[in-house]
Amino acid sequence: MMRFFLVLMSVALFGAARFPLEHAISTAHRELHLRAVDFNLGLREQLGQLGFVAALSGFRSLVADALFIQAHVAWERTEWGRVLLLFRQVTTLQPRAILFWDMAAWHMAWNASVAALNDSTQPRLALRIKAQREYFQVGKDFLERGIQNNPERPQLYEALARLYRDKYIDHEHAAEFFAKAAALPGAPSYEKRFAAYELSHCAGREREAYEHLRRLYDLGENERLPTLLLRLQDLESKLEIPLDQRIPDRVP
C-alpha cells in the first residue's frame, strides 16, 4: 500500500508540475497561431483512412506534400472535383503553409472557374456563369480560412484582394485587403499603391484616394510610376484640384 501511495503521489506531483508548462506552451501556440490539426471524425472523413493514420503518426508534412503532387496531376487532367478534394486535405494537414492555401484558391477561382464558363457540355450560359461564380466562392473560402490560420502573413491578404479586384470587380474590398496586407510586417511596398489604386475606383471615396496617392507621390521618384500618375491626374480632374496644386508630371 505504501508503494502504491508513493506512486500515486508521484503521478499527482508530476501532473501538477506539467500543467503550468503545458498551459504556457498552449498559450504561446495560440499567440503564434500554431493551430494543431483537430483529429476528429470530420478529419477522418476528409483524409481517408491512410491519410488519417499517417497524420496521427506524425507524418502530416510528408502526406500533405504527396497530396499536393496528386492535386497537381489532377489539375493537369482538369479533374476539378478531385483538385478541390485534395486541396481540402492538404490545407487541413498543413494550415500554416501559405503556398497550399494560395494554390488552392488559384486553381478554383482562376482555372476551374474559366473551365466552368467555357464548358462545352453545358449549353446554357446562365448555368455556366453560376458554376463560374461558385468556383470564385470556393477560392475565396480557401483564402479566408488561410488568413484565419495565418493572420500575420501578408501574402493571403494580397491574394484575396486580387480575387476581389479581378474576379468580383469589387474595388472597395480589394482596397481593403491590399491595405490590410500593407499594414503587416514584411509586406511589399507596392501594397500601399495597389490599395490606393483600388480606392480611386470607388465612387464617393475619390478624395480619400487622392490624398493617399498624393502622399505616395510626395515620397519621391521611386513612387511616381505611370499608373500612380494616371490615377492622380484623373482624380485631379474629378475633384477639380486647382491647377497650381496639381502634380507637374503628366502622362498622355
Cell digits for 95? 494550415
Specify the 3-state DSSP secondary structure of 88.
helix
pLDDT beyond 50 at 230: yes
pLDDT-derived band at 249, boundaries 50, 70, 90: confident
Looking at the domain assignment, is residue 229 inside a domain?
yes
Cell digits for 123? 449549353
**Angle (nearest 5°) at CA 134 between 130 and 140:** 145
Looking at the domain assignment, is residue 144 inside a domain?
no
Residue 229, pLDDT score: 95
Looking at the domain assignment, is residue 240 inside a domain?
yes
Looking at the domain assignment, is residue 37 inside a domain?
no
Q: What is the mean pLDDT of residues 26-30?
A: 45
Compare 26 and 58 and report the one with higher pLDDT: 58
Looking at the domain assignment, is residue 241 inside a domain?
yes
- Could you read off the pLDDT of 180-198 as tens digits, one per residue? 999 999 999 999 999 999 9
Looking at the domain assignment, is residue 99 inside a domain?
no
Looking at the domain assignment, is residue 113 inside a domain?
no
Q: What is the mean pLDDT of residues 35-51?
A: 49
Written as one string, the DSSP assignment of 33-50 is T-PPP--SHHHHHHHHHH
How far apart CA 176 and CA 169 sit, in angstroms, is 13
pLDDT beyond 80 at 1: no
- Could you read off the pLDDT of 123-158 as tens digits, one per residue? 999 999 999 999 999 999 999 999 999 999 999 999
Give burial (CB, 10 Å; 0-12/13-18/19+) of 159: buried
Q: Structural domain of residue 248, as residue ranges?
A: 152-252
Residue 28, pLDDT score: 43
Say how many domains are in the chain: 1
Residues in the chain: 252
Specify the 3-state DSSP secondary structure of 103.
helix
Looking at the domain assignment, is residue 249 inside a domain?
yes
Residue 10, pLDDT score: 56
Percent of the chain residues topping a pLDDT of 70: 77
